[in-house]
């Protein structure tokens, strides 16, 4: 939820009951220029929300909160933990179904074995001690509980680099590295998936020089007005325009984002 939108406007605040600064770090719903990134994140929530049905869920790092609220529509209980006080206040005001609390993800403010699912979407790449966070997830999960993580695929998000392009990211992972971290943390990896552009987005790629992502980044770097055609295409993107596929369906290393489902024994 906190993956930076390279094309986003980092100034101003989000309208609502509690103002949330637009730092460029969070993905925000309801803004045309953020819509591609919002939908790319939303599809993962929609895809995995059924795994939360009737369960006690922790979202570790909820950002703006729209995903935690989506999960609250099916879960028995949703607790959200975020380090940012302004995000906590915003979620408390806008999404009352979510029990939002301030806390450090390296020291989750929950008792041992207290939840059935931990959701961590577009957050682990922001953490300094990722292994400690995985250990905390294992601690708060009940036996047989699920840890579900999404994160940018380092191979395609920061190609050819060890240091992330995104200034808000501390360490990005590829599928093998994420798998190794989960296994080292005592989890069994149930599945590793990738987020890909579907046919409509492939057509947009073709219309914008081969990459709708690069077209957005170029606009941000130039600090120029959005071309009307680009803005119209971005505003039209829906979560249905993304595919979430397994390794048997497509090469995971080619994915935009990684989606891991792991089980605490």
**Distance from the first to the final alpha carbon of the chain:** 27
pLDDT of 18 reads 42
Is the domain spanning 32-196+244-264 CATH 3.40.50.150? The answer is yes
pLDDT of 14 reads 44
- Band of pLDDT at residue 47, cut at 50, 70 and 90: very high
- Is 4's pLDDT higher than 70? no
- Is 256's pLDDT higher than 80? yes
d(CA 162, CA 25): 20
Domain boundaries, the chain: 32-196+244-264
pLDDT of 12 reads 37
pLDDT of 249 reads 97
Q: What is the mean pLDDT of the chain?
A: 89
Query: pTM of this prediction?
Result: 0.89
Strands 77-82 and 98-102: parallel
**Span 100-112, average pLDDT:** 96
Q: Are 59 and 154 a contacting pair, CB within 8 Å?
A: no
Give percent of the chain with pLDDT exceeding 90: 74
- Is 19's pLDDT higher than 80? no
- Please report the DSSP string for 110-165 in residue order: S-TT-EEEEEEES-GGG-S-HHHHHHHHHHHEEEEEEEEEEEEBHHHHSTT-SS-S
Lowest mean pLDDT among 106-115, 213-222, 253-262: 213-222
pLDDT tens by residue, 170-195: 688 999 999 999 999 999 999 999 99
In this structure, how many other beta carbons lie within 10 angstroms of the beta carbon of residue 107?
10
d(CA 29, CA 32): 9
Phi first, then psi: give them for residue 147, nearest 5 degrees.
-115, 120
pLDDT tens by residue, 50-63: 999 999 999 999 99
- Of 180, 179, 152, the residue nearest 166 (C-alpha): 152
């Amino acid at each position: 939820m906190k993956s930076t939108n390279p094309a986003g406007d980092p100034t101003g605040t989000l309208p609502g009951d509690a103002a949330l600064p637009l730092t460029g770090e969070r993905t925000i719903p309801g803004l045309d220029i953020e819509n591609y990134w919002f939908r790319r994140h939303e599809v993962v929530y929609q895809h995995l929300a059924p795994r939360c049905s009737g369960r006690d869920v922790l979202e570790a790092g909820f950002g703006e909160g729209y995903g935690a609220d989506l999960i609250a529509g099916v879960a028995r209980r949703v607790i959200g933990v975020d380090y940012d006080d302004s995000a906590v206040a915003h979620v408390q005001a806008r999404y009352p179904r979510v029990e939002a609390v301030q806390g450090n993800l390296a020291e989750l403010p929950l008792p041992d074995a207290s939840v059935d699912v931990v959701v961590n979407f577009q957050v682990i790449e922001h953490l300094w001690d990722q292994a400690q966070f995985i250990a905390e997830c294992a601690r708060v999960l009940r036996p047989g509980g699920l840890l579900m993580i999404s994160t940018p695929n380092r191979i395609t998000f920061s190609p050819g680099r060890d240091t992330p392009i995104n200034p808000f990211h501390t360490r990005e992972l590829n599928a093998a590295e994420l798998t190794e971290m989960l296994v080292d943390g005592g989890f069994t990896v149930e599945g590793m998936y990738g987020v890909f552009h579907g046919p409509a987005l492939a057509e947009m790629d073709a219309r914008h020089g081969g990459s709708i992502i690069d077209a957005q980044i170029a606009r941000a770097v130039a600090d120029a007005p959005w071309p009307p055609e680009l803005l119209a295409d971005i505003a039209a993107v829906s979560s249905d325009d993304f595919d979430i596929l397994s390794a048997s369906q497509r090469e995971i290393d080619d994915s935009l984002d990684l989606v891991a489902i792991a089980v605490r024994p």
